[in-house]
Amino acid sequence: MSDHTSWWVASTPTTQFPQLQGGTRTQVAVLGGGIAGLTTALLLARAGRQVVLVEADRVARGVSGYTTAKVTVQHNLVYADLTSRHGEEAARLYAESQTMALDWLRDTAGRTDCELEAVPSLVYTESLDDVATVNDEVEAARKAGLAMEHTATSGLPWPIRAGALLPDQAQLHPRRYLLALTDALVEAGGTVVEQTRALDVDADGDGHVVRTDRGDLRCDDVVVATHYPFLDRGLLFARLAAYRDVVVAAAIGADRDPGVMAISTGSEEGGTHSVRTTPYRDGRRLLVVTGGQYKTGKDVSVQERYDDLSAWVQERFPGAEPVHSWSAQDTSSVDRLPYIGQLPLSGDHV
């Protein structure tokens, strides 16, 4: 297999944008060149704002370049939980916002060569103990306005006990998509700087100054889109938990494609597993499987996680040829709602 470089990164060119020139001024500084930062910067540039996007490494090579790139309104078992914690209205607004995001992304991605494919999304269980939980999720999602369906079958080559199926979701090649967004950002008048690490943000009269390892960037507004907010404000470090998953990608014949983006509830032996496919070489498909989740920083054998996941892939898809492996990171909020808006203790323009 690979040196733990994702297929998305390995199959696309590396960008070569310049570093920041100290003393630059702009209206909006967007910190972070992943999907959140690039989307925000593009929308601002199209709205006529002067934008500089700052990336510590290369755009779309961080978390967004190592994602599984499943574009779905279904986030495992989330709607029943949101309804229980925050009420039906909050769950409905969550579903509405995610649907709007999916529609926008699908419309935007459809104009690019990013291997966009329409597929259903499935949360399933192999345990009788979780059947009621999955059924509750379907009902909560329906009340939130989604066309979620009960199912006891799937395209997976093993039986399931129950599933929550959401039709017409999407999957794509994330770096192909994000490199197209980067080109569109530049075409709209935005500026991209790479190999420039933001270190801090300070108030500066009526505006702000972003301190970087390449000099200062002065601006009116700052968007922090660094996946995990690097500014130590508002005790966000105590309100976010970081987790890593390992990924094994294996080549399979196109006739073995399950035709669904699937994720288990995690109650079965071995924890949660996520499965999707993407176009590969010679007419084959690449089976992209994640699992082996652990809390970031925990003392674990990551190689054992890869070995266990490779064994799971061989058990479930005999003969699949492992060709790439990598790991990905996500953060979870304490209440399962996203943290967006003004950054605490940072004024009105961060």
CATH of the domain at 273: 3.30.70
Contact 151, 163 (CB under 8 A): yes
Q: List, in sequence order, every residue forming a beta bridge with 119; answer none if it has no partner.
A: 169
- DSSP class of 343: P
Give percent helix, percent strand, percent coil of the chain, each to the nearest 5: 30, 30, 40
Q: What is the pTM of this model?
A: 0.95
Same domain, 110 and 259: no
> Which of 73, 98, 79 minimizes the C-alpha distance to 138?
79
Confidence at 228, pLDDT banded by 50, 70, 90: confident
Query: In the numeric block, which tokens belong to residue 275?
Result: 């499965």
Same domain, 26 and 56: yes
Same domain, 191 and 276: no
| Cα four-point dihedral sign 176, 178, 179, 180 | positive
Same domain, 292 and 160: no
Same domain, 194 and 312: no
Instruction: Give the Å distances, CA to CA, from 318 to 85, 250, 251, 321, 322.
Output: 41, 11, 11, 9, 11
Same domain, 266 and 294: yes
What is the model's pLDDT at position 253?
A: 98
Please count the structural domains in the chain. 3
Looking up tokens 């129950």 gives 162
The last residue of one of the domains, among 139, 169, 199, is 169
In degrees, to the nearest 5, what angle opens at C-alpha 259 toward C-alphas 71 and 62?
35
pLDDT tens per residue across span 86-142? 999 999 999 999 999 999 999 999 999 999 999 999 999 999 999 999 999 999 999
Same domain, 126 and 103: yes
Look up the domain containing 102 and give its range. 79-169
> Can you tell me the mean pLDDT for 246-264?
97
Q: What backbone phi and psi angles, to 5 degrees, belong to 319?
A: 85, -5
Please report whether residue 191 resides in a domain: yes
Confidence at 2, pLDDT banded by 50, 70, 90: low
First vs last Cα of the chain: how many Å apart? 42
Same domain, 60 and 182: yes
